[in-house]
Amino acid sequence: MALTDAEIEIARAVALTLFPAEGVIAVDADQAGVIQAFARYVEGQDVVGQAATRALLQATELGFAAWARSPRARFTTASSDDRWAFLESWSKSGNAAQRMAFEGLRTLLLLGYVDSDPVRRAMGNFGDGGPVPGQAVPPPFASAAAPTAEA
């Protein structure tokens, strides 16, 4: 079963919060195709996995209302600063289930993000994992001193 429009909107809001265009990598979640990859992953899950993923998305959307102390507040309509603060509160929560929920959602979206060609190119790799032609690639540990044998 495909994600509903509302679930896609929630996932997209989370993805754009985690992977904005002005982030460390100047490729946002939309440019990276994160939601398409996420939707394909969910479609491949069994019924129980799909239900758990849907519950995670709804917990994000509706949990924002509790966090904001406003019953009508929604993650998808919140400012980017409030979205970030909410996700950060989950990532640092004293409640292990909340931290795991954040890590689970972040991981699913991150897999789609780093597996996209635009992100790989921005990181200096083509989609095949090879270096970008014409770009100097330093050898691993180039700045480390070479080990010396002791006599």
Six-digit token pair at 129? 């994992």
pLDDT the model gives residue 149: 52
If pLDDT is split at 50, 70 and 90, which confidence band does 23 have? Answer: confident
Class of residue 69 by CB neighbours under 10 A (exposed 0-12, middle 13-18, buried 19+): exposed
- pLDDT for residue 140: 47
- Segment 136-143 shows an average pLDDT of 47
Angle of helix 80-91 relative to helix 96-114, nearest 10 degrees? 120
Strand partners, 131: 125
Q: Which candidate, 31, 97, 26, places its Cα nearest to that of 63?
A: 97
Q: Is residue 140 part of a domain?
A: no
Domain-located, residue 128: no
| Between 141 and 103, the higher pLDDT residue | 103
Q: What is the pTM of this model?
A: 0.80
Q: Provide the residue range defining the domain that includes 52.
A: 5-122
Cβ count within 10 A of residue 101: 19
The total of structural domains in the chain comes to 1
Residue 22 has pLDDT above 60, yes or no: yes
Lookup: tokens for 10: 């929630």
Label residue 128 by pLDDT band (50, 70, 90).
Answer: low
125 to each of 34, 61, 136, how far by Cα in Å? Answer: 18, 35, 11
Tell whether the torsion through CA atoms of 130, 121, 42 and 44 is positive or negative. Answer: negative
